[in-house]
Amino acid sequence: MHASDAEKRFSRQTLLPEVGRQGQERLARAAVFLVGAGGLASAAAYYLVAAGVGTIGIADSDRVEISNLNRQILHDASRIGMTKVASARQCLETFHPGVTVNTIAQRLTSTQALTTVFADYDLIIDCTDNFAARYRINAAAMKSGTPWIYGAASGFEGQVMTIVPGKGPCYRCLYPSSPGDTDRVVPVMGVAPGIVGMVQAAEAIKQILGTGTLLLGRMLFVDLLDMNFSELNISRNPNCPDCGH
């Protein structure tokens, strides 16, 4: 992309005092890794790329299915059967040819594997749908020192929290032990992961720009049926096995 095209593409946001030319350059240099390529990632990845984040990494082992399409807007009916990471890369590169998309078409099932990947990125976004994966993400982020943004959605509800190693509580402070995963299909209205993913993208953009107030030690709850946004303050556990002393 020519410099003039980039200037036109991001002209509305560079007018913001929180962004400007220097902030836009920081976004272009930033690298954000998404664990998962489903509903949360669809909204988060779109808006990160729309904002001009230069490098996106995505890991997912699944393939696109028709049942994904009510919420996973990175994919469409023409790409059913394609790996989700390949579908996501095609979508994002079409949307913004200037972005670099790195993909891993497998599930990262060990903390060490995640830690190795995280070391190459500035920020991690959790786009998974199970507790076990989030515990691995949390442990790897604590080891690599990489900030990450937790998100979850079901039904018409969602929640988001930003976790920065050494600053505030981590995910295990919030959930010391797993409530337990089941194999049941989680019912969800597509707008719920969409809104959660957009909030995750907003938190990532603020983190990259060094502006605004992050959701550190604050869990944001979204209830779309009542159109209610609320917060819960989370304290750091000094005896936490992941982030404690």
CATH number for position 28: 3.40.50.720
Report yes or no on 110 lying in a domain.
Answer: yes
Is position 37 within any domain? Answer: yes
**How many alpha carbons lie under 13 Å from residue 52 in its C-beta half-sphere?**
25
Q: Is residue 137 part of a domain?
A: yes
Q: How many whole angstroms separate alpha carbon 179 and alpha carbon 172? A: 12
Place of tokens 């990494």: 57
Whether 149 maps to a domain, the answer reads: yes
- Residue 218 inside a domain? The answer is yes
12 within some domain: no
**Gap between the Cα atoms of 103 and 89, Å rounded:** 8
Q: Which residue range(s) make up the domain with 118?
A: 21-233
pLDDT at position 29 is 98
Number of domains the chain contains = 1
pLDDT in tens, the chain (245 residues): 566 788 899 999 999 999 999 999 999 999 999 999 999 999 999 999 999 999 999 999 999 999 999 999 999 999 999 999 999 999 999 999 999 999 999 999 899 999 999 999 999 999 998 999 999 999 999 999 999 999 999 999 999 999 999 999 999 999 998 876 556 778 999 999 999 999 999 999 999 999 999 999 999 999 999 999 999 999 999 999 999 86
Considering the domain boundaries, does residue 27 fall inside one? yes
Q: Is 241 a member of any domain?
A: no
Q: What is the structure's pLDDT at 3?
A: 62
Q: What pTM value is reported for the model?
A: 0.95
Mind giving me the DSSP string for the chain? --HHHHHHHTHHHHTSTTTHHHHHHHHHH-EEEEE--SHHHHHHHHHHHHHT-SEEEEE---B--GGGTTT-TT--GGGTTSBHHHHHHHHHHHH-TT-EEEEE-S---SHHHHHHHHTT-SEEEE---SHHHHHHHHHHHHHHT--EEEEEEEBTEEEEEEEBTTBS--HHHH-SS-----SSPPPB-THHHHHHHHHHHHHHHHHHHT-S---BTEEEEEETTTTEEEEEE----TT-TTT--
pLDDT value of position 186: 83
